[in-house]
């Protein structure tokens, strides 16, 4: 089985393969074999967000600056055309293009091989399987294309398709979800991609929002095959025993039948696990939240779901379209023997329904109107209480109003400064001069207490400002010449706000908001006259007790105008947006709002 898979990496690209569109790779084909493999995790191809590592929460790493590492490979058939657009503990992603042309633009992931081996415990066999499986399932319109790979003594690089539209779930409102037609589009494309993988005998085993990206036209792309497994070859099926995946999205048998489960080592079928995960994704598309923390009795919602034979009274289920309920119950059948197959899913009336946004060939139709609908659904209600208690049964989250500092560790939160919790390093790829909290540059001039006129002019066409309006709308400048999905919704996440407050007032306000949300903040040095930017690293567990990791970047973008950007590095996009909204509401006095 493995010999067959490895033999596939030795083949030259056929004329029909997408890599043939990239002449810069052709001269290098023969030098790439099964030993030239991707390290750590498959590229998370979001053009404007940081790479989301698959490391467990206990292995969050302190910062190592890129300047301390060996130079990136220079003898490569392409040139880099961007700063880092994604990053993880051992890898970074940059945009690239051919040496002698500006097009096409693709993504290249660089992996530090020594760090991946020593600190990530990533075996050569695991790396080989990941890149081989990804290449094996390339060729479907809803799967990120694998192009080629290479290495030097220090680095492994891999070139692949760039998902120009960014994260799908960056464009979905937390706790609200999207309309039924939009959910149907992306669920249909997900099922199509998963069906193609299964036809190749491959189970993804890590289907979740972090791995669902978009093209510039708004079509879905599945990424990240680091946990993928070959479950069938020449008619022979093989069960898996590896405990893997994200708790809210994994099937119950992964927990009970893996090497760590109560039925230790009995195994599970990767394809049936994928079907369960697809059902959870559909639920999240419609509701804006997962139905439970994990499929165990420790979760009140899951316990009730099982006890009521899937007729739960949970409020999230009550909000779902009635036509989806039988589909979800079929996909989320606890006993895998009774769970829907993909054929059952494809025959379901809700799946086969007509959809104005979905063409016959499965591609997005009318992307401008669909993007507009998604864009205008993103909003922040400043009248909400960000410290309200979570709904019954959910795990602890940022909602703990009465939690004191001593309780934070027990609740799953850790300091916003990096701590040595594992043996590795988190690399800071583009900012070697950046301090942990403040970086100083030349002062830009006098800061004004009130800059409403300046702010309004500077931010007139800024897409993220819409979410702060009483009636969110797409900026006129984006609608006038819009021809594709990306022209309406930018690939860059909308988790940012702008302020005219001085830095010396803005930083303490944000730190106080984090403290009130139960995220402990270390002592912060005083802001000096020359400081024009600040950085606060955030590490926590979200409302479902899953790792959430990122940073708050505060930068002066114009005289008297500061951008406060929340950059997710690891975790569920909806949970990160939920976190951003809570901080923004707590900082509302400093947030510039176009309606005021």
Between the alpha carbon of residue 394 and those of residues 314, 327, 452, the distances in Å are 11, 24, 40
- Evaluate whether 436 touches 539 at the Cβ level (below 8 Å): no
Distance of CA 199 to the CA centre of its chain: 26
* Structure tokens belonging to residue 435: 């301090």
Cα–Cα distance, 92 to 2 (Å, whole number): 29
Q: Which DSSP helix (H) or strand (E) runs through 346?
A: helix 342-347
Task: Quickly tell me which residue has 């997900």 as its tokens.
Answer: 190
Cα–Cα distance, 48 to 495 (Å, whole number): 12
154, 62, 101: which is closest to 436 by C-alpha? 62
Q: Please compute Rg for the chain using Cα positions.
A: 23
- Evaluate whether 491 touches 503 at the Cβ level (below 8 Å): no
Of the listed 206, 274, 542, 572, which one is catalytic? 206
| Those residues with Cβ within 8 angstroms of residue 337's Cβ, 6 or more apart along the chain or in another chain | none
Q: Tell me if residue 206 is catalytic.
A: yes
What is the 3-class SS of 136-204, one letter each residue?
HHCCCCCECCEEEEEECCCEEEEEECCCCCEECHHHCECCCECCHHHHHHHHHHHHHHHHHHHHCCEEC
Instruction: Name the pairing type of β-strands 426-428 and 63-65.
Output: parallel
CA angle at 98 for the pair 218 and 427, rounded to the nearest 5°: 75
Buried b (16+ CB within 10 A) or exposed e, 276-300: bbbbbbbbbbbbbbbbbbbbeeebb
Distance of CA 338 to the CA centre of its chain: 31
Q: Where are the alpha helices (DSSP H) in 414-519?
A: 452-458, 476-479, 485-488, 503-516
Length of the chain: 596
Q: Where are the alpha helices (DSSP H) in 252-332?
A: 252-257, 270-287, 300-307, 315-318, 322-331
| 109 annotated to bind ligand | yes
44, 6, 24: which is closest to 132 by C-alpha? 6
DSSP 299: S
CB atoms under 10 Å from CB of 441, counted, come to 12
Q: In the chain, how many H helices and how many E strands?
A: 18, 19
Binding-site members for ATP are 109
Q: Which residues are catalytic?
A: 206
């Amino acid at each position: 089985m493995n010999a067959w898979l490895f033999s596939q990496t030795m083949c030259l690209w056929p004329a029909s393969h997408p890599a043939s569109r990239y002449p810069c790779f052709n001269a290098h084909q023969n030098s790439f074999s099964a030993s030239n493999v991707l390290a750590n995790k498959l590229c998370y191809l979001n053009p404007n967000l940081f790479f989301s590592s698959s490391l467990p929460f206990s292995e969050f790493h302190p910062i190592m600056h890129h300047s301390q590492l060996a130079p990136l490979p220079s003898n490569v058939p392409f040139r880099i055309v961007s700063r880092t657009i994604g990053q993880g503990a051992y890898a970074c992603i940059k945009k690239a293009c051919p040496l002698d042309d500006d097009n096409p633009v693709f993504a290249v992931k660089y992996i530090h091989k020594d760090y991946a081996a020593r600190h990530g415990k990533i075996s050569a066999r695991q790396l080989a399987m990941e890149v081989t499986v990804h290449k094996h399932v390339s060729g479907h319109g809803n799967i990120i294309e694998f192009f080629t790979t290479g290495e030097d003594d220090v680095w492994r690089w891999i070139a692949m398709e760039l998902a120009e539209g960014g994260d799908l779930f960056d464009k979905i409102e937390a706790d609200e979800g999207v309309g039924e037609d939009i959910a149907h589009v992306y669920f249909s494309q997900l099922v199509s991609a998963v069906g193609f993988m299964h036809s190749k005998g491959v189970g993804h085993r890590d289907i979740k929002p972090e791995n669902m990206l978009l093209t510039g036209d708004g079509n879905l792309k599945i990424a990240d095959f680091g946990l993928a497994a070959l479950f069938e070859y020449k008619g022979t099926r093989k069960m898996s025993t590896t405990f893997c995946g994200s708790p809210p999205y994994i099937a119950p048998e992964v927990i009970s039948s893996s090497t760590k489960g109560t039925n230790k080592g009995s195994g599970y079928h990767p394809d049936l696990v994928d079907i369960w995960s697809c059902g959870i994704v559909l639920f999240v598309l419609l509701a804006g939240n997962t139905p439970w923390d994990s499929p165990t009795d420790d979760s009140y919602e899951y316990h009730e779901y099982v006890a009521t034979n899937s007729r739960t009274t949970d409020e999230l289920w009550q909000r779902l379209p009635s036509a989806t309920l039988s589909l979800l119950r079929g996909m989320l059948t606890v006993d895998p023997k009774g769970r829907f197959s993909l054929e059952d899913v494809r025959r379901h009336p809700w799946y086969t329904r007509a959809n104005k946004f979905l063409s016959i060939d499965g591609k997005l139709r009318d992307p401008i109107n669909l993007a507009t609908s998604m864009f205008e659904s993103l909003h922040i209600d400043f009248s909400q209480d960000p410290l309200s208690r979570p709904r019954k049964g959910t795990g602890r989250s940022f909602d703990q109003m009465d939690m004191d500092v001593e309780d934070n560790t027990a609740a799953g939160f850790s300091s916003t400064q990096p701590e040595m919790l594992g043996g590795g390093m988190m690399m800071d790829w583009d900012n070697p001069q950046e301090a942990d909290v403040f970086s100083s540059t030349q002062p830009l001039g006098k800061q004004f207490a009130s800059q409403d006129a300046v702010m309004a002019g500077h931010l007139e066409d800024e897409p993220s400002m819409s979410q702060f309006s009483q009636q969110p709308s797409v900026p006129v400048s984006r609608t006038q010449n819009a021809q594709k999905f990306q022209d309406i919704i930018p690939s860059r996440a909308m988790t940012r706000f702008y302020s005219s407050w001085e830095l010396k007032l803005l930083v303490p306000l944000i730190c106080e908001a984090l403290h009130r949300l139960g995220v402990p903040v270390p002592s912060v040095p005083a802001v000096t006259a020359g400081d024009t930017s600040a950085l606060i690293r955030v590490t926590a567990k979200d409302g479902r007790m899953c790792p959430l990791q990122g940073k708050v970047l505060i930068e002066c973008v114009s005289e008297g105008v500061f951008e406060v950007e929340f950059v997710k590095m690891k975790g569920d996009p909806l949970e990160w947006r939920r976190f951003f909204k809570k901080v923004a509401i707590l900082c509302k006095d400093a947030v510039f709002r176009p309606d005021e």
